[in-house]
Amino acid sequence: MIKRNPTRAVRVGRVTLGGGHPVAVQSMCATHTQDVDATVEQAEAIRKAGGDIVRIAVDGPKDVEALAEIRRQTSANLVVDLQENYRLAKTVAPHVDKLRYNPGHLWHHEKEKPVREKVRFLADVARDHDLALRVGVNCGSVDPELKERFPDDDVEAMVRSALEHCAMLDELGFDRYVVSLKDSHPRKVIEGNQRFAAARPDVPLHLGVTEAGMPPEGVIKTRVAFEQLLSRGIGDTIRVSLTLPNPRKHEEVEVGRRILEDIAAGRFRSVPVFDDDKLNIISCPSCSRVENEKFVDLAQAVKEMTAYAQGHALTIAVMGCRVNGPGETDDADLGLWCGPTHVNLKRRTETVGAFTYDEILPRLKRELDALIESRTAAPAR
């Protein structure tokens, strides 16, 4: 039996995270929230596959209207992802069991207001409606002030962000919260969660490797992080984030359950080391913000097209939407973020251009070949 960290218990609907309760498994709907029938169908598929919590994205009033009907039609424990407008918390609160906010995104909204005031608003809404909160920190969207304070240690910037928000919630007398610290690299996920757990062993942790990509690589990355953390007693709920077509979204839960069963039985499938010495393709899990479902096929096509470059230490990011895509491709050597009709191609922070879904692969190959040539060219004598 693995000894778990002594985290406090946080109730989310009918499931409790931390406090010695079983590790919960969750996933996120990839359907458009306003498509009520499809979203209910997917939420129920996730629940029936063993998903304890189902996350839904809400970006505007029409999504809120749809959410109210979704709530009536599913018995799943629901959490809403507040990315674009934290003020929507008050209108979504009657229909969900937990709210998730990203400290980096919160920093950018209503910059004239202190972050503490915005956190107070969220804590008050959660308290008034009997909800839990998740402080969801992503390495790719940490607020600029913390990035400047820790320019050479993005993991520490992520950890400090989480700790600062925990301190704000504690000062407000609100302790019904969990924390997540995510990155697309399992090493950073492991380091970040270990550092945070050492500082705040009382806070339940939601584990996940964001933008892990397609199976089987995405499963391997996730398993590496989960084995290293859960075997040390760190982690109270998990999310497996895979790039999958909509009808297969519930497979994230099945993968998560298998990993938990293996760890409980002592079946560790070794720990591959991701040393950044070969091609690394990251892609986000499809969600309701994806504006063209060709994104999933494109991610697979990128993987196949770039097979010849496996021996080169490069990162290619394929992101499905305009919310996370522009910022979370900044650290990739080549980044693609997908819109309704075009794919935006970047070299790190520099925009190359927008190309149709038919044009993007040849153009990506041109950029990749040029990048490989520039890195392997012999220095001039």
pLDDT in tens, 120-139: 999 999 999 999 999 999 98
Mean pLDDT of 306-332: 82
Other C-beta atoms closer than 10 Å to the C-beta of 276 total 12
Tokens of 85: 């407008």
User: Against a cut of 0.75, is the pTM above it?
Assistant: yes
Residue burial 32-68, b: 16+ Cβ < 10 Å; e: rest? bbbebebbbbbbbbbbebebbbbbbbbbeeebbebbe
What pLDDT does 323 receive? 65
Other C-beta atoms closer than 10 Å to the C-beta of 289 total 20
**CB contact at 8 A, 148 and 156:** no
Question: Which residue do the tokens 């308290």 mark?
Answer: 127
Q: Nearest-CA neighbor of 56 among 35, 79, 25?
A: 79
What digits encode the pLDDT tens for the residues 275-288? Answer: 457 888 877 766 66
Predicted confidence band of residue 254 (pLDDT cuts 50, 70, 90): very high
DSSP summary character for residue 377: S
Query: Treating both helix axes as pointing N-terminal to C-terminal, what angle do 186-199 and 217-230 enclose, rounded to 10 degrees?
Result: 20
- Under DSSP, is residue 67 helix (H, G, I), strand (E, B) or coil? helix
What pLDDT does 1 receive? 57
Angstrom distance (rounded) from CA 143 to CA 108:
8
pLDDT of residue 271 exceeding 60? no
Q: Nearest-CA neighbor of 215 among 169, 251, 264, 182?
A: 251
Domains of the chain listed by start with CATH number:
10-264 (3.20.20.20), 280-376 (3.30.413.10)
Higher pLDDT among residues 218 and 380, named by residue: 218
Angstrom distance (rounded) from CA 215 to CA 209:
13
Helix (H) or strand (E) holding 207: strand 205-207
Higher pLDDT among residues 212 and 56, named by residue: 56
Mean pLDDT of 193-211: 96
Mean pLDDT (the chain, rounded) = 90
What pLDDT does 278 receive? 80
What pLDDT does 261 receive? 94
Higher pLDDT among residues 274 and 97, named by residue: 97
What digits encode the pLDDT tens for the residues 94-107? Answer: 999 999 999 988 88
Predicted confidence band of residue 3 (pLDDT cuts 50, 70, 90): confident
**CB contact at 8 A, 26 and 255:** no
What digits encode the pLDDT tens for the residues 20-66? Answer: 999 999 999 999 999 999 999 999 999 999 999 999 999 889 999 99
